[in-house]
Structure 1
């Protein structure tokens, strides 16, 4: 490295040349004095300066791994300003200065105090300067130089990826590449032979070889056989110094496995086999195994077995077990010792995966002969059919023969057979069987409409060996007889409009029959001929198992008659034919012009009053509770009377919890202080219509007035009907159920008040007939209450 001084006044440093090395010597650097003209380039222009004295530095070298007792000498620094009088002081700075490298500040000698490792650090950059010892001023500008660590062979080659595991196909050609191994050396590859590695094989000959320069491992033999030897352990060595004596070395192991190829055909261990199979073997069951051996492994040893020929090829089949590579022999047809006692099969075993490179080693298949001996066994009876189907009529008498099953002993002995029914279910008890003949008979009376089919199981066993039993299913169908008359398909709710016209169809009816279609497919409809001609309705048979109900006159009135009854006769087409009579109920309803039903008489009160079924039940319960409560009060007074206790002192201030008396009948229809009786007031006094208090009508209805002449003659029944009709047509009624009571007795009632409070004696001539069935009960109650009142006032 050349360092040029840029100062005009600086003296020139002179580098002393040392003996050990010059320009690349092993241990020392040297300094030379140059007196020449330098060039300074700035951009593209050369600038010429006056010749300057400067330092020209060569690299200093220090040997690594120095183990001597004294510091290792590196080199010497010297300035031409140094006159040898000790006035010049040398200073060393930079990497390792003062620790690794020290300098004699008087002589300029540099020494290394520590052992260095080139593999950790290859060189050090330092700076040198000469100063005046008296003034401490620099005599030269600071200069830079390098101390390079020189390599020695202190690192052995290493295999960083070992040990290795590799495979190579068997029967490979000699020289087939197996693997390339690489060793690394940490020494300097640019200096000497310290990092020059060569490869050699220490273990694995003569099967494998290694290239000394590249480290490629190859097969060294032709057609290596896996079946002879499968695994090899090869040791490879790497040595530096180009393999010379004194070089360092490292080794690794390469485990080589030969992979299989299909180079071995299958072979049966024997050419003849014999197999025993009893004749009782079930069809589809495995009866034996056979196997061909193959020295190969994996898919190269996969096998397929085939029956080539023989008299048993139609009776037996063979398949391959993929796990065990065995041939599984199965039975295709039942065996019969009495008919054939042995079979012969030729079985082939062949590889399924072939390698055409080794086809010359074939053929890859083998054939063997298998003889099958059929063994004689005592077999159970055999039925002539796999199943039986029988029929019997449902009106058959007990003991009627249904059918016969037949079984026989298949063995040569031909033993007698005994029959019986397995009593597993209740259905099996409906039949019996003759143990000798196999004839099945009925044991109960059947109803096809209840159970149309029975399934039983018949068993047969040999008399000589009862443990050998065979079973057969028997299905028995119950045949139909015409024992059920036809009837209406459902209950019909027939409605006829008041404005109906003659000949109008008001309902279409249909029928059903529990018997089968053969005994009830065609139904006939008619009116009961025993009755007189119906003037209101008629029936038309549509001849399609339906009939139509038609009107016979114009207009119907609910007030005159709101319900009609129409008897209908229905007959089937069975043998003998059966018939039944049903009565249809026809209601008269008010309808719109388009035929929509508006209201019916049976629903008038409920719809107008706005009462549901639940509301009616609640009202009836309230009536019953009130009746029971009243009866309890009467019983209480009678008990008090008989015990002759002091009469009850009733006053306005005396409040009792158990007895409540009402001695005021009220002011009648004119009393409006206690409650609003607008809805119940005398029609003659009704001047305007008041709104119902349970709803707020959106549209104020138009008041309805009646002439006083009609109001004078109106009775209670007509008054209630009128109010019902008004409620039906009132658009302001609520959508929910409401209760409206009418206690109006009628205009100018001759009977007077219906209350029993004014009857102080038991000789009351009050008429209670208007209460219907409840009249006598209330009459008795009034009489009892009169006696109590009489006693109380006394």
Structure 2
């Protein structure tokens, strides 16, 4: 039997057989609560006046790997800047295992193993640090699973998942959808009309991704671009500040800067090319006949054959392209079918012989129009007068009049002969004198 010195907690765990003395376990034994028990056993016979003897029994409890490691998170630094250096501390953890010996030896791993984090240990304290630079634009957050495994048989393990956010750093400048933009706008546009939208994106976040658009104030054709166009800072919508005139300005370009609100701010520039298209806003003007409204009179000889060039009409248009492609036509009554007008060159020619029965003066109305939509036109009037042929006079063979020019030609020839003779005489005289001087010197 147990002696009176045996504690009650031992009596609750163990029992002793009164006849055989076998000590048995009657409830669960937990090494983590008590690793040994002390009990006192007495033995006595059943005789009268028997004397009991005592002994001390010590029961040692052997540890079994029945407790998995316990992970305790002490601190977590999240978010972590994406430009943080390697070995930046992200989390601090500690590991507890109630077992002992080899069952208490714990190893830590990060799952999955390809994450940019690693574990550093100091006794039973561990730190999770970065092992490489982070990139929020590639991976904005990580789920880091830490697994602790003890050395028991079989081994037991436990896990804890830490969510690590990556804080944005302004390391990306805005990026335009296109490096250059081409815009075509019809002249006589309404001021403040939108021309195009310049769009840029920034992979950063927050203020680092908020973009402001501005036009660089470059001079173009001697005029500041800021007087032509403007841009909405928040949306990048480019709109005109004035009505464009194709005849004065046909194209210009400018640069738009997209800048984020990071510290320090980053920016990029895109070029916008504006091409002004012509509209048919000018009527043709006559150059010949004169455009001042004065009447033009041309002449033609009587009995002229068909196809004789009478006159040529010239006109021009300030517009361009089809708006300046001119087409001539002749408007006259049916009886004035004596003349025809080439629709492209403006040449007026006779269609038949000019006979005696024709009038002496013809009034032709020339019409010119362009090919714009809608087309514009102008008209002018040309008067054509028919002149009679001068009479032919036969020469009188008895009267020959020497032209006055013949006498002048004779006088000029005489003067040239005299001048040439005098020059030759002076030259020969000079040679003769030089020869005499040379001979005298030798003598």
TM-score, length of structure 2 as denominator length: 0.60
1:144 to 138, 161, 167: 161
- The structural deviation recorded for 1:162 is 3.0
Structure 1: how far apart are the matches of 2:216 and 2:317? 36
1:229 to 240, 249, 265: 249
Superposition map of 1:586-601 within 5 A: none
Q: Secondary structure at the match of 1:193?
A: helix
Equivalent residue number for residue 329 of structure 1: 348
Equivalent residue number for residue 133 of structure 2: 115
Equivalent residue number for residue 75 of structure 1: 91
Question: Alpha carbons of 1:146 and 1:138: their partners in 2 closer, same or farther (altered >3 Å)?
Answer: farther
Superposition map of 1:354-373 within 5 A: 355=374, 364-372=376-384
- The structural deviation recorded for 1:374 is 5.7
8 Å contact 1:82–1:88 — kept in the other structure?
no
Q: Secondary structure at the match of 1:93?
A: strand
- The structural deviation recorded for 1:260 is 1.3
8 Å contact 2:110–2:118 — kept in the other structure?
no
Equivalent residue number for residue 286 of structure 2: 268
Structure 1: how far apart are the matches of 2:383 and 2:333? 10
Structure 1: how far apart are the matches of 2:75 and 2:263? 36
Equivalent residue number for residue 449 of structure 1: none
Q: Does 1:16 align with 2:74?
A: yes
8 Å contact 1:81–1:139 — kept in the other structure?
no
Superposition map of 1:34-433 within 5 A: 60-66=78-84, 68=85, 71-81=87-97, 88-95=105-112, 97=114, 100-106=116-122, 107-132=125-150, 135=152, 138=155, 140-188=157-205, 192-203=206-217, 204-221=225-242, 223-241=243-261, 246-269=264-287, 270-271=290-291, 272-273=295-296, 275=298, 282-284=305-307, 287-308=310-331, 313-321=336-344, 326-336=345-355, 343-351=362-370, 353=372, 355=374, 364-372=376-384
- The structural deviation recorded for 1:182 is 0.8
Equivalent residue number for residue 435 of structure 2: none
Structure 2: how far apart are the matches of 1:111 and 1:82? 27
Question: What is the total number of aligned residue pairs between the two structures?
Answer: 313
- The structural deviation recorded for 1:365 is 3.6
Which of these two proteins has the greater Rg computed from alpha carbons? 1
8 Å contact 1:307–1:313 — kept in the other structure?
no
Question: Alpha carbons of 1:139 and 1:77: their partners in 2 closer, same or farther (altered >3 Å)?
Answer: farther
Gaps of 5+ in 1: 1-7, 19-27, 29-59, 357-363, 378-410, 416-794
Query: C-alpha deviations, 1:544-567, integer Å up to 9, x for none?
Result: xxxxxxxxxxxxxxxxxxxxxxxx
Q: Secondary structure at the match of 1:187?
A: coil
Q: Secondary structure at the match of 1:161?
A: coil
Structure 2: how far apart are the matches of 1:137 and 1:129? 16
Structure 1: how far apart are the matches of 2:132 and 2:356? 104
Question: Alpha carbons of 1:156 and 1:293: their partners in 2 closer, same or farther (altered >3 Å)?
Answer: same
Superposition map of 1:498-513 within 5 A: none
Query: C-alpha deviations, 1:370-402, integer Å up to 9, x for none?
Result: 34466788xxxxxxxxxxxxxxxxxxxxxxxxx
Structure 2: how far apart are the matches of 1:82 and 1:9? 6
Q: Secondary structure at the match of 1:300?
A: helix
The structure whose RCO (Cα within 8 Å, separation 6+) is larger is 2
8 Å contact 1:95–1:125 — kept in the other structure?
no
8 Å contact 2:170–2:264 — kept in the other structure?
no
Q: Secondary structure at the match of 2:74?
A: coil
Question: Alpha carbons of 1:285 and 1:136: their partners in 2 closer, same or farther (altered >3 Å)?
Answer: farther
Question: Alpha carbons of 1:355 and 1:136: their partners in 2 closer, same or farther (altered >3 Å)?
Answer: farther
Structure 2: how far apart are the matches of 1:94 and 1:167? 57
Structure 2: how far apart are the matches of 1:136 and 1:123? 36
Structure 1: how far apart are the matches of 2:264 and 2:180? 25
Structure 2: how far apart are the matches of 1:138 and 1:206? 79
Structure 2: how far apart are the matches of 1:102 and 1:259? 64
Q: Secondary structure at the match of 1:209?
A: strand
Question: Alpha carbons of 1:174 and 1:336: their partners in 2 closer, same or farther (altered >3 Å)?
Answer: same
Question: Alpha carbons of 1:11 and 1:228: their partners in 2 closer, same or farther (altered >3 Å)?
Answer: same
Query: C-alpha deviations, 1:341-362, integer Å up to 9, x for none?
Result: 7644342333454549xxxxxx
Question: Alpha carbons of 1:355 and 1:112: their partners in 2 closer, same or farther (altered >3 Å)?
Answer: same
Structure 2: how far apart are the matches of 1:247 and 1:259? 38
Structure 1: how far apart are the matches of 2:184 and 2:365? 40
Structure 2: how far apart are the matches of 1:167 and 1:197? 26
Over aligned residues, Cα RMSD in angstroms?
Answer: 3.8
8 Å contact 2:75–2:93 — kept in the other structure?
no
Question: Alpha carbons of 1:90 and 1:330: their partners in 2 closer, same or farther (altered >3 Å)?
Answer: farther
8 Å contact 2:181–2:271 — kept in the other structure?
yes
Structure 2: how far apart are the matches of 1:279 and 1:138? 129
Question: Alpha carbons of 1:95 and 1:141: their partners in 2 closer, same or farther (altered >3 Å)?
Answer: closer
Question: Alpha carbons of 1:175 and 1:245: their partners in 2 closer, same or farther (altered >3 Å)?
Answer: farther
Structure 1: how far apart are the matches of 2:105 and 2:147? 10
Name the structure with the higher strand share.
2
8 Å contact 1:62–1:74 — kept in the other structure?
yes
Question: Alpha carbons of 1:289 and 1:353: their partners in 2 closer, same or farther (altered >3 Å)?
Answer: same
TM-score, length of structure 1 as denominator length: 0.35
